[in-house]
Amino acid sequence: MHPTKFLPIVIILDEYDVLVREQVDEELFANFLGFLNGLFKSDTMRPAIGLAYLTGILPVVRDKVQSKLNNFEEYTILDAMELAEFVGFTEPEVQTLCEKHDMDFEECRRWYDGYRQRGYDIYNPESVIKSIRHGEFDNYWSMTSSYLVISDYIQRNFAGTRDAVIRMLAGESVDVDKGMFLNTLGDFRDRNEVFTYLMHLGYLAYRKEDKTCHIPNKEVREEWMRAVSIMDDYEVTNRIIQASKQLLSDTIRGDELAVAAALDTSHIHVTSNRSYNNEDALQSAIYLAYIYALNQYTVIREMTSGRGFADVVFIPFVEHLPAMVIELKRNGSADSAIDQIRQKRYFESPAHYQGDLLFVGINYDEKIKTHDCRIERFTV
């Protein structure tokens, strides 16, 4: 009997990508792809298949000619198209849950937000549910995955990988070409493939508008810090991260010499691995050195304020901490940075903030490769 006379078959293959991620024997994997190719591209079988549904984390493997499964529509964490609002919890859904269970929505955002698709802010649903169930915000990612995934891949250190990782740890975004990824994990060729793989696993978030990736939130940032802490190539980076809490404390206390010394270490490390100009390197050094502040502050870069743009503004979401306005200078002076904050009235940026406010002027001298710092405090 001709197969079209039967009811359509619905085929669901769960965790298709397990074979890819486990990097099974090449012959076994080739046989599996051959099976799928025969199943979905067979003139005999095709009329009888009403729907085929493959689930997993990674996209379909592409070979040098074409994918054997190129007749599938792919919905991924990088772009789920019309299904974008269903790949995780949307912001309105999380707000409703937080209100219902008396949880702090802004804190939930800091922990679990960071993925964005088609105009939707996407939250990690597993972690949101666990935080509500346990009644506290914490890193629930580590219960389902391991930071070793990160370290295993970034230690390959393709050209530019370490520089990009430092920038992302400091809260920046870096360019990525996701089209380079063929989903053949044993054959990575550059950092684009490494970062795209980590985007599919959720360790990085993708911004389609400018084709960049970044570390999405506090929960995932902790996994990156764990990964860096065990890698020899990132030993200095890890020391800067660990010293960041003390740097923030020194800044709040007004210890200008300690702040300048900490920035000397951070800037030397960043510029030794960077090929772009000194102004960018100075900013990255500042962001990395103050990485601990992300636990207590909302950090806004180039914030519109007064008569211009403040380089960095730190607005606390923890009580009894001062807001901070940081102005950076290169081959100038810390005093001139403080003067610029006053003259251009950058202190107007945290207008809604009431409490102590720190002006922090930082200058980097290229010739002697050192920083000087000036800190002033007043009450808004």
Check: CB of residue 249 under 8 Å from CB of residue 361: no
- For residue 357, the cross-strand partners are 323, 378
Spatial separation of the C-alpha atoms in residues 222 and 199, rounded to whole Å: 16
For the chain, the domains span 3-54, 81-138, 148-230, 233-379
CA angle centred on 290, ends 287 and 295, rounded to 5°: 115
Which H or E run includes 33? helix 26-40
Per-residue pLDDT of the chain (380 residues; tens, 9 = 90+): 454 454 455 555 555 555 555 566 677 777 777 777 777 777 777 777 777 777 777 777 666 555 556 677 888 888 889 999 998 999 999 999 999 999 999 999 999 999 999 999 999 999 999 999 999 999 998 776 778 889 888 887 788 888 889 889 988 899 999 887 776 666 778 899 899 989 988 999 999 999 999 999 999 999 999 999 999 888 888 889 999 999 999 999 999 999 999 998 888 777 655 444 466 777 888 888 999 998 899 888 876 655 667 788 888 988 889 999 899 988 889 999 998 888 887 666 555 666 788 999 999 888 888 899 999 988 76
Structure pTM?
0.83
Spatial separation of the C-alpha atoms in residues 140 and 153, rounded to whole Å: 22
Residues in contact with 125: Cβ distance below 8 Å, sequence separation at least 6, in sequence order: 88, 89
* Structure tokens belonging to residue 13: 């293959």
Nearest partner of 74 among 64, 87, 91, judged by Cα: 87
Radius of gyration, CA atoms only, the chain: 25
Check: CB of residue 130 under 8 Å from CB of residue 238: no
Q: How far is CA 98 from CA 138, 216, 250, 261, in A?
A: 15, 20, 35, 42
Check: CB of residue 256 under 8 Å from CB of residue 373: yes
Is 324 exposed, middle or buried (CB count within 10 Å of its CB: 0-12, 13-18, 19+)?
buried
Check: CB of residue 200 under 8 Å from CB of residue 57: yes
Q: How many of the other CB atoms lie within 10 Å of CB of 187?
A: 8
- For residue 305, the cross-strand partners are 308
Give the model confidence (pLDDT) of 287-316 as tens digits: 889 999 988 998 888 766 556 677 888 889
**Concatenated DSSP letters of 205-259:** EEETTTTEEE--SHHHHHHHHHHHHT-GGGHHHHHHHHHHHHHHHHHHHT-HHHH
